[in-house]
Structure 1
Amino acid sequence: MPKTKTSKSLLRNDVNFPTFSDLPDENDVDLTYYDEGPYGFAPSQHWCFLGEIVDSYGLGRILLRVKDKEDQVVTIGLYTDDRGQALAPQIKQGHTVAVLYGEQHGFLDMSVGIRVEEASVIRIIPCSLEQLLKVSDDVAARNSDRQSRCCGSCGQKEDTSDKTHLRLCSRCKQMSYCGEACQKKAWVDGHKVDCKVLVWVQWFAARNWRVFNGYFNF
């Protein structure tokens, strides 16, 4: 039966952003993610595995050890044409790996992990998994407040009647401010770091993960 889990925010949704144990097995048909049609089974929704890099190794082929949302550590094997070399400069302990349509794969050494064959389905996000999830939570909390407020320390509400308009951060398009002073203070207080993460949260949020109309690519 399909899973019916609730989520605190988009990236905490364990169906579209599953932990390793909830990924479909490459040798089975998981009805959470596939429906049967006239031409056989086809994806019914999208999913993306998120894990934080613990270690990397391998001389010819890069192998990553990553920790998922449940702290389970698994291996991601990069079987792309260049054996993961294009990703090598971005691989840093503590950064987050995102893998679209990952499946549980049995390696020759009898371990189980994720095999990545296409470079377009994997990206490294330059922040910890904890930070990525926290920013996703913050966006969900702000979206629940229907009345726009300054994201700076003043918390001023937008009021069109007296021409008090908020302006969005030009980069992440998520944080809004009443003026330059609040924006500069927020930048120093933490938005300088969160801004890069918000760009990625926006990338995930801009897509409909529950309806499949073709594969996503990074």
Structure 2
Amino acid sequence: MPISKKPQSLLRNSFNFPTFSSLPDEPRIEIDLKYYDSGPFGFKPSQHWCFVGEIVDSIGLVRGLLRVKDKDGQVVTIGLYTDDRGQALAPQIKIGHTVAVLYSEQHRFLDMTVGIRVGDISNIKIIPCSLEQLLKASDDVATLRKGQPRRCGSCGKEENASDNTHLRLCSRCRHTAYCGEDCQKKAWVAGHKADCKALVGVRWFTERNWRMFHDWFSF
């Protein structure tokens, strides 16, 4: 009997969500045709992509510098070259949170180190959960989309229309479902409080078509 293949989780997709070593180079002296297509008005992205990594340190007095660990475990620097030098993001920057950077490229800084330069505030977002939690949430969403029936996030009871068993979704993440208020309260204390933040973060990504480029995404 063939082994059923698990659906690929969106954030596990190595093209649209590459690790640092797979990002295109900047400046684009040689266009990376893996990420760009030529057109009548020059080059434009062929698909969308986004770098995700977990914050392991935050440094820099004049300009915000983040040290983040990607999906491969490589630690790289993200330099915040926004108009306010990253000040708007400061309250959200916490070790253990995940940072996402749209259309990121490998950039060579003045000290000759290579990292990611962020100049547009709309290209960066900080998600209040670990990278591991975010990836797990992405896996959970992919599994449900494959067609598995919903189960209560607390007691495990399966939704079944034939016996009038209807579950209600968490109003925040719109993913985890419950039999009722008692199960929802128990699950919140048992761990959904943390999982919910990750699922909310994943929802932004799953609501978009990463394979077709029509215009730039922004957070």
Query: TM-score, with normalisation over the residues of structure 1?
Result: 0.92
Q: Give the conservation status (yes or no) of the 8 Å contact 1:7–1:14.
A: no
Q: Give the conservation status (yes or no) of the 8 Å contact 1:149–1:176.
A: yes
1:33 matches 2:35: yes
The residue type paired with residue 24 of structure 2 is P
Deviation at 1:110, TM superposition (A): 0.7
Q: Give the conservation status (yes or no) of the 8 Å contact 1:171–1:199.
A: yes
Alignment-derived partner of residue 23 in structure 2: 23
Gaps of 5+ in 2: 1-5
The residue type paired with residue 98 of structure 1 is A
Gaps of 5+ in 1: 1-5
Alignment-derived partner of residue 117 in structure 1: 119
Alignment-derived partner of residue 107 in structure 1: 109
Alignment-derived partner of residue 195 in structure 1: 196
Alignment-derived partner of residue 215 in structure 1: 216
Alignment-derived partner of residue 168 in structure 1: 169
The residue type paired with residue 104 of structure 1 is Q
1:62 matches 2:64: yes
Deviation at 1:7, TM superposition (A): 7.6
SS state at 2:25 partner: coil
In structure 2, C-alpha distance between the alignment counterparts of 1:52 and 1:159, rounded to whole Å: 39
Alignment-derived partner of residue 10 in structure 1: 10
In structure 2, C-alpha distance between the alignment counterparts of 1:33 and 1:125, rounded to whole Å: 25
In structure 1, C-alpha distance between the alignment counterparts of 2:193 and 2:205, rounded to whole Å: 20
The residue type paired with residue 152 of structure 2 is C
SS state at 1:208 partner: coil
Alignment-derived partner of residue 137 in structure 2: 135
Deviation at 1:85, TM superposition (A): 1.1
Alignment-derived partner of residue 3 in structure 2: none
The residue type paired with residue 64 of structure 2 is I
The residue type paired with residue 169 of structure 1 is C
Q: CA RMSD in A?
A: 1.6
In structure 1, C-alpha distance between the alignment counterparts of 2:7 and 2:105, rounded to whole Å: 21
Alignment-derived partner of residue 90 in structure 1: 92
In structure 1, C-alpha distance between the alignment counterparts of 2:56 and 2:115, rounded to whole Å: 14
